[in-house]
């Protein structure tokens, strides 16, 4: 996906998240994030949007100060509008930024701007799904967006040093999206994690739509619509180990 496509998906999921938040009370429970209420979720995403904006708008080799970037939390009555303003400001910042802007990032990307557009696209998309879970129905991601989100997770997040997804002996997981020209990712898990954009034999294979796989791999959905072949114990390790870290 290109930067403009990431920004378009961010815009769409930001608006869907705002609508989902407005449909329930601020203290509504979030089934996909059992420790959070809608208030917690919207505050988190709104703060992340403002922090991301600060990183792009004020180029630096160090991360933006989160406290200064996010400002005070809004009252419940203004929570959704506060979220919308932050999302729109982020979108405007991404669209107006110099393509060659140099700013802090925390994963490899073609450019810093490409990193922030992609990361905020998928950050917002997953939390949009969280917000929709409060009403019991999560809209599917488009196949290209979901496949790109899977790729970010499998080639970016889980391969970073210091992650919890590890194994004493080599174990392999094949992830196959069946609605995007059979995109394949082969994950090798040992004392480090390596991911290759390729097929091949694996200890466990997951096959399904990119959207269903995206939600499962981010621990937002179960396996009801996914075909599992091989050793399912690897999936329990995944559930216990894969979490997002921003550094």
Residue 243: pLDDT above 90?
no
Band (pLDDT 50/70/90 cuts) for residue 171 is very high
Over range 132-149, report the average pLDDT. Answer: 97
Count how many Cα atoms sit within 13 Å of the Cα of residue 48 in the half-sphere of its side chain: 20
CATH 1.20.120 fits 3-133, yes or no: yes
CA distances from 176 to 138, 151, 210 (A): 21, 11, 8
SS (H, E, C) 132-201: HHCCCCCCCCCHHHHHHHHHHHHHHHCCCCCCCCCCCCCEEEEEEECCCCCEEEEEEECCCEEEECCCCC
Q: Convert the pLDDT of each residue in 81-137 to its tens digit.
A: 999 999 999 999 999 999 999 999 999 999 999 999 999 999 999 999 999 999 999
CA distances from 7 to 14, 89, 190 (A): 10, 12, 35
pLDDT, residue 244, reads 54
- Sign of the dihedral defined by the CA atoms of residues 27, 242, 71, 45, in that order: negative
DSSP letters along 50-88, please? HHHHHHHHS--SS---HHHHH-SPPPGGGHHHHHHHHHH
Q: Record the pTM.
A: 0.95
- Kind plus residue range of the DSSP H or E element containing 7: helix 3-22
Residue 226: pLDDT above 60?
yes
Domain map (residue ranges) of the chain? 3-133, 143-241
Centre a 10 Å sphere on the Cβ of residue 148 and count the other Cβ atoms it contains.
Answer: 24
Q: 143-241: which CATH architecture?
A: 2-Layer Sandwich (3.30)
Band (pLDDT 50/70/90 cuts) for residue 183 is very high
CA distances from 216 to 45, 63, 209, 227 (A): 20, 30, 11, 12
């Amino acid at each position: 996906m290109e930067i403009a496509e990431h920004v378009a998906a961010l815009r769409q999921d930001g608006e869907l998240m705002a609508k989902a938040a407005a449909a329930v009370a601020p203290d509504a429970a979030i089934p996909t994030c059992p420790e959070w209420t809608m208030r917690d979720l919207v505050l988190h995403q709104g703060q992340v949007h403002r922090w991301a904006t600060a990183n792009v708008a004020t180029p630096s080799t160090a991360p933006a100060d989160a406290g200064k970037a996010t400002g005070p939390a809004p009252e419940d009555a203004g929570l959704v509008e506060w979220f919308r303003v932050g999302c729109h400001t982020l979108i405007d910042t991404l669209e107006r930024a110099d393509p060659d802007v140099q700013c802090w990032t925390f994963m490899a990307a073609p450019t810093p701007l490409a990193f922030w557009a992609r990361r905020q696209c998928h950050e917002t998309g997953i939390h949009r799904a969280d917000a929709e879970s409060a009403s019991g129905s999560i809209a599917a991601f488009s196949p290209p967006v979901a496949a790109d989100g899977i790729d970010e997770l499998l080639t970016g997040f889980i391969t970073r040093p210091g992650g919890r997804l590890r194994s004493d002996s080599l174990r392999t997981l094949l992830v196959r999206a069946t609605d995007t020209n059979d995109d394949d990712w082969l994950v090798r898990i040992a004392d480090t994690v390596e991911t290759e954009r390729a097929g091949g034999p694996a200890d466990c294979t997951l096959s399904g739509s990119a959207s269903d796989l995206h939600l499962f791999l981010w621990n937002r959905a179960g396996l009801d619509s996914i075909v599992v072949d091989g050793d399912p114990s690897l999936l329990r390790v995944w559930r216990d180990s894969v979490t997002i870290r921003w550094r």
